[in-house]
Copies of this chain bind each other. A is one copy, B any other.
Amino acid sequence: MQRPLILVTNDDGITAPGIRHLVEFMNEIGDVVVVAPNSPQSGKGHAITINSTLTFEEISLEGPQHDYSLSGTPVDCVKFALDKILDRKPDLVVSGINHGANSSINVIYSGTMSAAVEAGVEGLQAIGFSLLDFSWDADFSQSKEFIQEIVLKTLKNPLPKGIVLNVNIPKLPKEEIKGIKVCRQANAKWEESFDERINPHGKRYYWLTGYFNNMDESPDADETALGEGYISVVPVKFDLTAHEHIDSLKELLNR
């Protein structure tokens, strides 16, 4: 059997420890091509670069894979890889390992997950991985076995059309991780607050900050599984239609 072609990207930038670990894990499974941002792109969501231009470099990093660094967003990286770098469709696109959680509502802000979603829109198998540890020197080694297991199962049993996976890994030693749980996105939101400062010229400026408010204690929510020490897996779709409300809205608005 031919080795699978695996495209790897992320939003923390091509040299982040998270993506270097993911590349190392994927090199044991397939032929790896990395196309990732040349700078941090956290919180970029599904942004694409349309009002400016992109450049890329092939760079030399440890390992047998090819590494390309792009001046764009995570979604740009997927689009650019498919059009300009890969000579065939990849068997799988993986994004991450993100430094920090992308569970619950964070899926819509996350560049890591948006890269996976973009691959899904392109009809490809795709998975985003995130570790619940923002630290640059987070311990990614404990997730190796779980990530490889999810990837191998997905390669053998392709995901249904129209979905990608959002995988979050608790910050725990490997032996304390209880297992893997398929979940739904918890109902949660950020309670934002802007931190006001004064610049040296006397002008006010603001940092976006806030705290995460989980409003969902139900046993099938990803936040709950993570809290209990499980790896959470949420199937994510990009048909955003609220099909269940079409009929009542037709009654109200159609004419």
Q: Which residue numbers of A lie inside 8 Å of B, CB to CB?
A: 40, 42-51, 53-56, 75-76, 79-80, 82-84, 105, 107-109, 114, 117, 121-123, 150, 153, 157, 159-160, 162-163, 165, 179-185, 187, 189, 192-194, 196-197, 203-208, 220, 233-243, 245-246, 248-250, 252-255
Cβ distance A222 to chain B, nearest Cβ, rounded Å: 9
Cβ distance A45 to chain B, nearest Cβ, rounded Å: 3
Cβ distance A70 to chain B, nearest Cβ, rounded Å: 9
| Distance A185 CA – B159 CA, assembled complex (angstroms) | 21
Instruction: List, in ascending order, chain B residues with CB within 8 A of A75's CB.
Output: 45, 109
**Contact in complex: A160, B46 (CB < 8 Å):** no
A-B contact pairs, 13 of them (CB 8 A): A46-B46, A46-B108, A46-B114, A54-B208, A84-B194, A121-B189, A122-B189, A162-B242, A179-B254, A182-B249, A185-B241, A233-B249, A235-B245
**Contact in complex: B239, A235 (CB < 8 Å):** no
**A113 to chain B: closest residue by CB:** B240
**Contact in complex: B49, A46 (CB < 8 Å):** no
**Contact in complex: A241, B236 (CB < 8 Å):** yes
**Contact in complex: A79, B241 (CB < 8 Å):** no
Chain B CB within 10 Å, residue with most, of A54, A153, A253: A253
Given A43-B51, A235-B249, 12 new contacts (CB under 8 A): A43-B50, A46-B47, A47-B47, A54-B208, A76-B208, A80-B194, A80-B206, A83-B194, A105-B121, A153-B253, A162-B242, A237-B242
Q: State whether A49 and B55 are in contact (beta carbons under 8 Å apart), knowing that A206-B84, A235-B246, A255-B180 are contacts in the complex.
A: no
